């Protein structure tokens, strides 16, 4: 199974997005779901960020990096659990 990690990095500390890692990111979020393949994981990771207060309030100097890792390779305590908004356009809840 695959889990999405979403990194928020500042361009003032990491000018190259490829250099953005869990150790230099200003925020690390682990999506609270698992997926059967990396492509699905990546797409859901992007959508998850878009529904959070963090995704809606990104600063001009912040960049996002989404990547998927095997669920068993990361600690369950990684990352923040942001507030997911239910009033985002397209949300049918």
pTM beyond 0.85, yes or no: no
pLDDT at 76: 54
| pLDDT per residue as tens digits for the range 8-19 | 999 998 888 899
pLDDT at 47: 93
Beta carbons of 27 and 58 less than 8 angstroms apart: no
Which stretches in the chain have pLDDT values below 70? 75-93
pLDDT at 93: 32
d(Cα 45, Cα 67) in Å, to the nearest integer?
Answer: 8
């Amino acid at each position: 199974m695959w889990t999405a990690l979403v990194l928020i990095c500042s361009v003032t500390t990491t000018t190259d997005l490829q250099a953005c890692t869990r150790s230099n990111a200003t925020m690390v979020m682990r999506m609270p779901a698992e997926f059967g393949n990396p492509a699905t994981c990546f797409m859901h990771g992007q959508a998850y960020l878009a529904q959070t207060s963090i995704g809606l309030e990104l600063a001009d100097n912040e960049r996002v990096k989404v990547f998927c890792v095997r669920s068993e390779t990361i600690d369950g305590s990684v990352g923040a659990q942001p507030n997911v908004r239910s009033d985002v356009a397209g949300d049918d809840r």
